[in-house]
Amino acid sequence: MKTKKYNVWFWIVPLIFAAVVMTGIRLVSDTPTGYKFWERPLQWNLIEFGFAIIIAYLCQFIISYLLERNSKHTGKLTFKMFLSEYLLVLAAGIILFNPCLVLIHYLINDPLGIDDITIANTIFLLVLIIIYSLFRGNQILNAYIDQKLQTQKIKNMQIETELKFLKAQFHPHFLFNALNTIYFQIDEKNETPRKTIEQLSDLLRYQLYDVNQTVTIEQEINFLLTYINLQKVRMKESLKLDISFDPQLKNQKIHSLLLFPLVENALKYVGGEYWIKIDGKLDGNRLLFEVVNAIPQTPFPSSKIGGIGLENLRRRLELLYPGKHRLMISKTTDSYKANLMIEF
């Protein structure tokens, strides 16, 4: 529906533009002298109006191009950018209009004076600026509304998550107390199960209390390493782990548990040659995170791998990092790869 409306206005506005410009120029130029342009030969008016329509449609294409070009700056428009936009519109209008103006007067054998050029340019550029302002203002308004809707959507999601989180708070204390009881029931000499319970407790605490907060990337990495160490208890000794994190990944802020689903999937579906490679790098102000794992010769169906976990991750990324993330999933015959980019 929006496309149809846009197409209608795309063709109608230039006709209105041409009529207003031509009529305005003629009225301002001819009124002081008493000249009535509608009484002159019809072909002269047709030539002028024909050129006016051509100029108007060319301006429409220029405006459409500039709107598309400037749309990426709508959210952070400064006075300097705003001024440069309008100077560019004026420059494009002058370059397009004046050669046509000279040609029109030549074809109708009408002398062209400085006053004629000044009046014609003033009216043409004024109407051009008004039309561009209307389209640009509408674009800025729509971007503002979209941003508000996105912000409200994030707030609603945060409220919903907080309600679920508060509901979950009835159980954590009981769970931690139970783990604490089990921990002290295990003989001190039996270090492995005690260590496992400590790690499990740390993981639960991080997931329950930090899920709605931003954390440092170092905290997120430590959580991942704790999770991996806990999983290694149940994994085969033949599992080959290659884990590498850029030492510069320290105090950058990130929403928690965004990297976890990718590592969880790798540990869940690893098979075949039984290896996992995890790599995190800092590239300027971007986190580049990659997880690759071997898969069985008879792999899981693509629809099964990731499942709800990856869908939730995509949803969180869209809400928390709109336009500032990229998640790519790919699969070969013997491996499964996930690449995540986040701008801090």
Which tens digit of pLDDT belongs to each residue from 251-274? 999 998 899 999 988 988 887 788
Tell me the C-alpha distance between 261 and 265, whole Å.
6
Cβ contact 245:277 at 8 Å: no
Asked whether 320 and 295 are in contact (CB, 8 A), the reply is no
Cα distance between residue 120 and residue 29, in whole Å:
8
Confidence of residue 74 (pLDDT cuts 50, 70, 90): low
Angle at 193 between CA 191 and CA 198, to 5 degrees: 90
Instruction: Please tell me the predicted confidence (pLDDT) of residue 275.
Output: 92
CA distance 215 to 230: 21
> Of 214, 315, 202, 205, nearest to 256 (Cα)?
214
User: What is the 3-class SS of the chain, one letter each residue?
Assistant: CHHHHHHHHHHHHHHHHHHHHHHHHHHHHHHHHCCCHHHCCHHHHHHHHHHHHHHHHHHHHHHHHHHHHHHHHHHHCCHHHHHHHHHHHHHHHHHHHHHHHHHHHHHCCCCCCHHHHHHHHHHHHHHHHHHHHHHHHHHHHHHHHHHHHHHHHHHHHHHHHHHHHHHHCCCHHHHHHHHHHHHHHCCCCCHHHHHHHHHHHHHHHHHHHCCCCEEEHHHHHHHHHHHHHHHHCCCCCCCEEEEEECCCCCCCEEECCCCHHHHHHHHHHCCCCCEEEEEEEEECCEEEEEEEEECCCCCCCCCCCCHHHHHHHHHHHHHHCCCCEEEEEEECCCEEEEEEEEEC
Identify residue 301 by its one-letter amino acid code.
P
Domains of the chain plus CATH, in order, are: 2-152 (no CATH), 235-343 (3.30.565.10)
Q: Give the pLDDT of residue 291.
A: 97
Task: Among 120-124, 225-229, 236-240, name the one with the lowest average pLDDT.
Answer: 236-240
pLDDT for residue 303? 47
pTM for the whole thing? 0.50
pLDDT in tens, 40-69: 777 777 888 788 888 888 888 888 888 888
Strand partners, 253: 216
Q: What was the pLDDT predicted at 257?
A: 85
Percent of the chain at pLDDT > 70 equals 81
pLDDT at position 328 is 95
Task: Using the predicted structure, report yes or no on whether residue 1 has a pLDDT greater than 60.
Answer: no
Please state the rounded mean pLDDT for residues 212-223: 87
